[in-house]
Amino acid sequence: MRASRSVLLTVLVAPLMIMLADVAGQERIVNKQDADRIFGLNRSQWEAEAKQMVHPGGWKVRLSPVNTGTGVMAFDPKTGMGLAIQPLFRDRHSPPEMLVVGSYYPAGTFPDFSDRLKRDMEAAAHSDLGPAYSVSVSFTRMASPPPGFDVVEVTITRAQR
């Protein structure tokens, strides 16, 4: 059980990370199985698992406790890339209401993040997740900490029925 938790960050977060190599094609943007798993946890379960997370590739992992649930961030000092996952919980007993997955790229990776790229990413994520989820993608540039990041965030919620 402990060994499986040590790779949990990769199992839960890496498949949810934005893969921009081929947005419309082969790379998956969001993995439905992992989204289902995270949306199946209550806050207490998530908090317990978050404390056990490591990244097997040696990325530095940091927890960010906030009042809506602990965020898990991983950073690769070799490539300057990072990822973060933040489920947002209403209380300790319910599943998350929202899941935000951020992919952090070295500043300048996306000199022009177009509306077309955003729509393509949202369509691919929706295709992967199916009708059970709603997805939106946003892009921001962060100047701090230097040298800064291009940030792509995928926000996932359960679809309204």
**Chain segment 9-18, per-residue pLDDT in tens:** 544 455 444 4
118 in Cβ contact with 98 (< 8 Å): no
Q: Where are the domains of the chain?
A: 2-158
- Predicted model pTM: 0.82
**Spatial distance between the Cα atoms of 150 and 8, rounded to a whole number of angstroms:** 25
pLDDT of residue 161: 64
Percent of the chain with pLDDT over 70: 80
Q: What is the mean pLDDT of residues 122-148?
A: 92
Within 8 A by CB and 6+ apart from 28, the residues are 15, 19, 124, 128
Q: What is the mean pLDDT of the chain?
A: 83
